[in-house]
Amino acid sequence: MDAKIWKGTLIGGVVYFILGWIIYGMLLAGYLASNFNNCANRSQEDMIWWAIIASNLIYALFLTLILKWSGTTTIVGGLKTGALFGLLMTSTFDLSMYSMTTTFQNFTGLIVDVVIATALAAFIGMVIVLLWGKEKTA
């Protein structure tokens, strides 16, 4: 893998972890508790941190690869591609969970999750493209 992929994966994964913790773990904690079925959730003390970190890095790798393969080089391109990635990825997962589990107590919770995850992925896409910098010309 080239340097862009490594940087995008590492920085994107760190940004995703920090923003996910702030948004889902702090800002939306009350909303999530009242709109999601939390019976299967682990307590903070019982979380498996290596799996959370691996998940964030894999998500960032996937987004980084899509940004690179699509040739995205601008801030707006990073926002758009990240948003589309987040929308499709989260919609797929959330609709599947909605159809087969009791994770979501209502459809509004699903919509809120998709909107937040889309915005988060858009921001991460922008950060990844920004950290790549300008292409060097020979």
Give the tens place of pLDDT for each residue, 3-29.
889 999 999 999 999 999 999 999 999
Of 62, 63, 49, 60, the C-alpha closest to 21 is: 49
Provide the residue ranges of all domains of the chain, joining segments of one domain with +.
3-35+49-132
CB 35 within 8 A of CB 109: yes
CB 76 within 8 A of CB 85: no
- Token pair of 81, please? 């591609």
Predicted local confidence at residue 50, as pLDDT: 96
Helix or strand holding residue 70 (H, E): none
Which one is predicted more confidently, 133 or 30? 30
Predicted local confidence at residue 106, as pLDDT: 92
Measured over the CA atoms of residue 16, residue 22, residue 27 and residue 33, the dihedral's sign is positive
pLDDT at 134 over 80: no
Cα 51 to its chain centre, rounded Å, is 15
Chain mean pLDDT for the chain: 92
Predicted local confidence at residue 108, as pLDDT: 94
- Token pair of 29, please? 């904690």
